[in-house]
Amino acid sequence: MIRSFIFLSILFFFFQAEAQYNSGPVGFAALNGGTTGGSGGKEVTVSNYADLKKYAEEPETKYVIHVEGTIIGSGSIAKGDYDGSIKVASNKTLLGVGNTALLKGMGIMVSNAHNIILRNLKVTLTGIHIPDSLVEKDIPGIYSAKGDEGRAQILVNAGDCISIQKQSTNIWIDHCEVFNEDPATQLNIDLYDGLIDIKNTSSFITISWCYLHDHHKCHLVGSSDKDEFDRKVTFHHNYYRNIDERLPSFRFGAAHIFNNYYENLRVGGINSRMGACLKIESNLFKDSKDPIGTRNSKTVGQWEVKDNKFDNCTGSMPDSSNCSLEIPYEYKSVLTKVAALKELLLQHAGVEKKLKSPKIEAK
């Protein structure tokens, strides 16, 4: 009887996942006027860096940009003219074609922009290879030999795969795969910065149904203890695997973190800082250290915890709350039972997989 219930639950949520994939965002990105990206604008297909940059960076014009195949940055690292940052302007959708779209050795920057959808894309900085002859030298805008802490740093796109900064609002990142290198073998914690970082007065953001893996530092929300702003971010139905920490590291503001599957977090998971209030609901943590806590901050953060499961975890696993966050959007219709969560996300988080071709509709 129990097995039949779990199977039926998984089947129900598979259909639920598919329905959501073909509709708008759930979470804070659905508020503040909603997030529709380039819906209603011109549709173009790109397969090289120059065209992607041309359409994505055109101010204000609505575009649905279908991204096809592997795209790498432009220029030469050795010559110091490498460009690997796409600065997405407002009212754009970047939509991967099938499971082919890979942005390699380059990142996406959202700065002072609004109404942007990033969907069905693979993004990694790992295509950036510094020649042996230059590893001890600085290459402006590309590479720092000693960085801020005496460790080498990639500077392309500020070291982030995806960076959201300044006053950027209504951003939806959905069904993407974002990764760098296995932190057990790539030991420099500063070589890359974040997988998806959010800074300054950016808000009304949803990160959903993504597969994020193999990295040291995943999400930094708030760049420092002085970066004070009442941010609103939703993280739901994401699969996090083999990441050291910052799942997220969240300063100030509020986040709703529900229905995520965390596996093999090596240093620490969700880190609430500087008075932030995080609603942490119906998540599954497996084989992880300190899944939920507050650390590395002069002012502690807080949380509201509900129905989370810890499987073979150690350290901080709070089961009581010290803040309360009222969620201003409907999400109960997509809230998944923890018993069904692992299989659901293994099947559906990340790029297209078994879902129908994505369709973006204006609300």
Separation between Cα atoms, residue 102 and residue 48, nearest integer Å: 11
Buried-state track 113-152, b at ≥16 Cβ within 10 A, e below 16: bbbbbbbbbbbbbbbbebeeeeeeebbeebbbeebeeeeb
- From the list 144, 50, 55, the residue with the least C-alpha distance to 93 is 55
Place of tokens 């965390």: 262
- Yes or no: domain 2-348 corresponds to CATH 2.160.20.10: yes
DSSP string, 158-227: GG-SEEEESS-EEEEEES-EEE---TTT---TTSS-BSEEE-TT-EEEEEES-EEEEEEE--EESSSTT-
Measure the CA dihedral 166/153/128/93, to 10°. Answer: -10
- 261 near 345, Cβ under 8 Å? yes
CB neighbour list of residue 194: distance below 8 Å, 6 or more residues apart: 159, 160, 161, 163, 217, 218, 219, 220, 246
Pair of tokens at residue 110: 């959202």
Which one is catalytic: 241, 246, 251, 273? 246
Tens digit of each residue's pLDDT (9 = 90 or more) over 283-307: 999 999 999 999 999 999 999 999 9
- From the list 125, 47, 123, the residue with the least C-alpha distance to 82 is 125
pLDDT tens for each residue of the chain, 363 residues long:
545 544 555 555 555 555 555 679 999 999 999 999 999 999 999 999 999 999 999 998 999 999 999 999 999 999 999 999 999 999 999 999 999 999 999 999 999 999 999 999 999 999 999 999 999 999 999 999 999 999 999 999 999 999 999 999 999 999 999 999 999 999 999 999 999 999 999 999 999 999 999 999 999 999 999 999 999 999 999 999 999 999 999 999 999 999 999 999 999 999 999 999 999 999 999 999 999 999 999 999 999 999 999 999 999 999 999 999 999 999 999 999 999 999 999 999 999 754 433 333 332
Separation between Cα atoms, residue 105 and residue 77, nearest integer Å: 11
Which amino acid does the sequence have at 113? A
- For 334-338, the CB contacts below 8 A with 24+ separation are 334/16, 334/20, 334/26, 334/236, 334/237, 334/259, 335/258, 335/259, 335/281, 335/282, 336/13, 336/16, 336/237, 336/259, 336/282, 337/9, 337/13, 337/282, 338/282, 338/283, 338/284, 338/307, 338/308, 338/309
What pLDDT is recorded for position 60?
A: 83
What pLDDT is recorded for position 22?
A: 60
CB atoms near residue 273 (< 10 Å): 24
What pLDDT is recorded for position 355?
A: 43
DSSP string, 245-306: E-SSEEESSEEEEES-EEEEESS-SEEEETT-EEEEES-EEES-B--EE--SSSSB-EEEEE
- 275 near 301, Cβ under 8 Å? yes
What pLDDT is recorded for position 23?
A: 77
Q: Where are the domains of the chain?
A: 2-348
Whether 295 is catalytic is: no
Furthest C-alpha separation in the chain: 65
